[in-house]
Every structure is written in structure tokens, then in C-alpha cells.
Amino acid sequence: MAQHVCPWWLGYVHLLPIRRLLEPPARIVGPHLRAGMRVLEVGCGMGYFTLPMAAAVGAEGKVVALDVQPRMLAGLARRARRAGLADRIDARLCAPDSLGVEDLAGRIGFALAYFVVHEVPDPGRLFAELRAALRSDARVLVVEPPGHVTREAFAATLAAAARHGLRPAAGPGVAGRRRLTALLEPAG
């Protein structure tokens, strides 16, 4: 596994209640979700966004949550069971260099990559796999942490996305002056 992958215990830090004030999930992902939607989340950690997304898509929807660390997925599974949302979440262990989501081709309405692309060894391949999973009307929200990622590196990330058929879309990103955030859509 690449050395810069965030350690599993940080999964607990990402769930601290203070985060809900700074990064309210309903405000960040809510505008992009509809009942019955199929959602793909890359780098779900212990499910800070996964659970609110599973609640928002309803009993007919599904969140496919991917992570490279089994301990993150174990934390997610525990929390999902407690919240009564386990049946709406398809948690999958993926490889660092591949999402392995060929079975989802053309089925995803919304994809989230929150604070993860800088940890992925091959962002080009990530975006190619994401692109293949999307419906034609899908949106992809990419957010990177300003502390770890420079504006230049984020521009390179968006260039990689563009090379793989994802262009900027109109719609809400994530508020905040320092945030590195992009809402993308299939280029055609």
C-alpha cells in the first residue's frame, strides 16, 4: 500500500462531532442526491459521508463504498449496522490502483471522492474507472484538503479528470475560500 494513505485510526478522528459543524454532510452532498439513486464513494473511511448518503437515497437506493483499508470498512460496517442502514450500503475493499467496479458500468448517479484523490497512486485510472461507472446525467464531487494538496496539484487532478472524460459541471461544490473542490460531469 502507498505510504501516504491515511492511517486507519484517523478514521475515528474523521468522525468527531466538531466535523459536522465544519463540514455538514447534508449541505455538501445533499444537493446531489435523490431517492432511489445509486451512489459511488471512493475512499469512504469509516463512513462520515456514507451513512448520510445512504439515508438520503432511501430504501430503494444504494451507496457503493470503496476503501483500500479493511479496518476502515469494518468501522463503516459497525456504524451502518447501528444506524439500520447496512442494507443500503455495499462496502467493498478495493485495490490501491483499481476500483474494480466494472459491474456498475453506466449505473451511478452521483460519485464522491472526498479527501482521497491525493492518496491514489494513479488518478488517471481512478477517473477512467469512475467515468465508466457513471450515468450520462451523473455528477462527481471531488474535494481535496488544502493542507496536503496545492492548487497546482489540484489543477493537475482536474486535468487528469478531463483527459478521462469528466468536465466541470454547473452546481454546488463545497463552500469555503480555501477549499479545493470541483463538481464534474461526463463530457459526453
In whole angstroms, the minimum distance from the beta carbon of 180 to ligand SAM comes to 13
Give bridge partners of residue 185 from the DSSP assignment.
167
Specify the DSSP element, H or E, that contains 11. helix 10-13
Q: Report if residue 84 touches ligand SAM, rule: CB under 6 A.
A: no
In whole angstroms, the minimum distance from the beta carbon of 35 to ligand SAM comes to 23
Q: Report if residue 32 touches ligand SAM, rule: CB under 6 A.
A: no
Q: Which residues contact 120 (CB under 8 A, 6 or more apart)?
A: 42, 43, 96, 97, 126
Q: Residue from 28, 38, 54, 69 that binds ligand SAM (CB under 6 A)?
A: 69
Provide the edge-to-edge strand list for the sheet that holds 38-42. 89-93, 62-67, 38-42, 108-114, 134-144, 180-186, 166-168
Applying CB under 6 A, the span of 29-37, 38-46, 158-166, 173-181 interacting with ligand SAM comes to 38-46
Q: Report if residue 144 touches ligand SAM, rule: CB under 6 A.
A: no
Q: β-pairing, 166-168 with 134-144?
A: unpaired
Closer CB to ligand SAM, 91 or 138, in the complex: 91
Q: What DSSP character marks residue 117?
A: G
Distance (Å, whole) CA 121 – CA 126: 9
Q: Report if residue 115 touches ligand SAM, rule: CB under 6 A.
A: yes
What is the contact surface with ligand SAM in residues (CB under 6 A)? 5-6, 14, 42-45, 48, 66-69, 72, 94, 96, 114-116, 119-120
